[in-house]
C-alpha cells in the first residue's frame, strides 16, 4: 500500500476538497485524484462520493480514516528513528499561548535545562492560530496551543484545565448552596474569553435567560480578569491553573455551578511529524514529575 495514497486520502478529508488537498500537498488536482483512485482499487471500495465539485466521504471511508491516520503517524515515527540526528539542537524555539507562558513554562523549563544542558531556548507567545502557522513554517520547533488537529502536524494532548466560576473573599455566593443561573447572571461579571470553542459552552449557560449576563468588563487576558475579581470588581469564569495561588491564599473561591461542570480548556503540544521527539517525551515526563494534572484536579 502506497503511503502517498493514504496521505492524499487524509488531506482530502482535512481540506474538504481535492483542489485544496492538491494545494496543501503541492500537487496537481489530477495527481490527487489518481492517488485516491489507486487507494480505492487497493481497498476494493469507494472512499468518496463526488457531487460536482464537492466530495463526501463514504461509510467505508469513515471506517478506514482512523487506520489511515495511524499508518501516517507510524510512518513518520519510523522516519524519525532512521534519520534521527545524534546531536541535539543548540537552540529550541518554543511557541505558546499566554496562559502556558505564565503557568506552565516556568515549571517545565528548569527540568529541560537540566536534561539538555547544552540547548538554549527561545520562547514566543501568541494565539493558537499564530503558533500553528509558526510551527508549520518552521519559525518555531514546537508549540503549546489549544486543542487543534492538522494533517501536517503531530498534536499530543498535554493537559486539560477546568473552567469554574470564581468569586472574591466575602462574596455572598460562597455560602449560598442554592444558586440559580438568573442570580449568577445578575452579578457584575469580569468576562475572560480566550477564543477557544470551549467558551461557547459558557455562553450557552445563559442562553435561555430573558436578560443577558451583566458583563461589565470583557478581556482576553486571564491575569487581568483574575486581578479584577480579587479587587472585587466582579465574578468570573476562569481556568483553574491561573487561580491556584489565589485560591490557596483564600483570595478567590470556586463557586459550584452544575451547568458548567465538565467545561475545560485542552492544551496540546504540536510539532512537525517526526521532529523533536526527545524534547516532547521529556516534557511529558516532566509534567508527570511536576504532577501538573493532579494540581489541576485539586482546583476542581
* Mean of pLDDT over the chain: 86
Task: Give yes or no: residues 178 and 204 share one domain.
Answer: yes
User: Average pLDDT, stretch 7-26?
Assistant: 87
User: What pLDDT, on a 0 to 100 scale, did the predictor assign at position 261?
Assistant: 87
Task: Give yes or no: residues 148 and 274 share one domain.
Answer: yes
Task: Give yes or no: residues 103 and 171 share one domain.
Answer: no
- Domain of 26, CATH number, reads 1.10.10.10
CA distances from 242 to 222, 288, 292, 293 (A): 7, 19, 13, 14
Domain presence at residue 298: no
Domain presence at residue 204: yes
Q: Which residue has the higher pLDDT, 196 or 298?
A: 196
Domain that holds residue 28: 3-83
User: Average pLDDT, stretch 101-114?
Assistant: 89
Domain presence at residue 180: yes
User: Average pLDDT, stretch 15-23?
Assistant: 86
- pLDDT per residue over 71-90, tens digit each? 888 887 776 666 554 445 68
6-20, 87-101, 223-237, 266-280: which has the minimum mean pLDDT? 87-101
pLDDT at 296 > cutoff 70: no
User: Average pLDDT, stretch 247-262?
Assistant: 92
Domain presence at residue 172: yes
Task: Give yes or no: residues 211 and 279 share one domain.
Answer: no
Domain presence at residue 111: yes
pLDDT at 286 > cutoff 80: no
User: What pLDDT, on a 0 to 100 scale, did the predictor assign at position 193?
Assistant: 79
User: Average pLDDT, stretch 36-56?
Assistant: 88
User: What pLDDT, on a 0 to 100 scale, did the predictor assign at position 292?
Assistant: 46
- Domain of 225, CATH number, reads 3.40.190.10
User: Average pLDDT, stretch 126-140?
Assistant: 92
pLDDT at 108 > cutoff 60: yes
- pLDDT per residue over 225-249, tens digit each? 999 999 999 999 999 989 989 999 9
pLDDT at 23 > cutoff 80: yes
Task: Give yes or no: residues 11 and 67 share one domain.
Answer: yes
- pLDDT per residue over 147-204, tens digit each? 888 888 899 988 888 899 999 999 999 999 889 999 999 999 999 876 655 667 888 8
Structurally, how many domains does the chain consist of? Answer: 3
Domain presence at residue 168: yes
Residue 208 makes CB contacts below 8 A (sequence gap 6+) with none
CA atoms within 13 A on the CB side of 205: 22
Note the maximum CA span of the chain. Answer: 69
Task: Give yes or no: residues 275 and 132 share one domain.
Answer: yes
Amino acid at each position: 500500500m502506497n503511503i502517498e495514497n493514504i496521505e492524499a486520502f487524509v488531506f482530502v478529508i482535512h481540506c474538504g476538497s481535492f483542489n485544496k488537498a492538491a494545494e496543501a500537498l503541492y500537487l496537481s488536482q489530477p495527481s490527487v485524484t489518481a492517488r485516491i483512485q489507486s487507494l480505492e482499487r487497493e481497498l476494493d471500495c469507494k472512499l468518496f462520493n463526488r457531487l460536482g465539485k464537492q466530495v463526501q466521504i463514504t461509510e467505508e471511508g469513515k471506517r478506514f480514516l482512523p487506520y489511515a491516520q495511524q499508518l501516517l503517524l507510524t510512518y513518520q515515527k519510523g522516519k524519525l528513528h532512521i534519520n534521527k540526528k545524534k546531536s541535539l539542537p543548540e537552540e529550541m524555539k518554543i511557541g505558546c499561548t499566554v496562559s502556558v507562558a505564565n503557568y506552565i513554562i516556568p515549571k517545565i523549563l528548569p527540568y529541560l535545562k537540566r536534561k539538555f544542558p547544552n540547548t538554549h531556548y527561545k520562547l514566543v507567545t501568541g494565539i493558537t492560530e499564530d503558533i500553528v502557522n509558526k510551527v508549520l513554517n518552521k519559525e518555531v520547533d514546537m508549540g503549546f496551543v489549544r486543542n487543534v488537529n492538522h494533517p501536517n502536524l503531530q498534536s499530543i494532548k498535554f493537559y486539560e484545565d477546568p473552567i469554574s466560576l470564581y468569586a472574591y473573599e466575602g462574596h455572598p455566593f460562597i455560602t449560598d448552596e442554592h444558586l440559580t443561573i438568573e442570580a449568577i447572571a445578575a452579578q457584575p461579571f469580569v468576562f475572560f474569553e480566550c477564543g477557544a470553542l470551549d467558551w461557547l459552552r459558557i455562553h450557552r449557560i445563559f442562553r435561555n435567560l430573558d436578560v443577558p449576563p451583566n458583563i461589565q468588563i470583557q478581556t482576553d487576558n486571564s491575569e487581568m480578569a483574575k486581578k479584577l475579581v480579587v479587587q472585587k470588581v466582579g465574578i468570573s469564569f476562569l481556568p483553574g491553573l491561573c487561580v491556584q495561588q489565589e485560591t490557596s491564599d483564600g483570595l478567590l473561591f470556586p463557586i459550584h455551578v452544575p451547568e458548567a461542570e465538565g467545561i475545560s480548556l485542552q492544551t496540546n503540544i504540536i510539532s512537525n511529524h517526526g521532529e523533536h521527539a526527545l524534547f516532547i517525551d521529556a516534557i511529558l515526563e516532566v509534567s508527570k514529575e511536576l504532577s501538573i494534572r493532579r494540581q489541576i484536579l485539586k482546583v476542581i
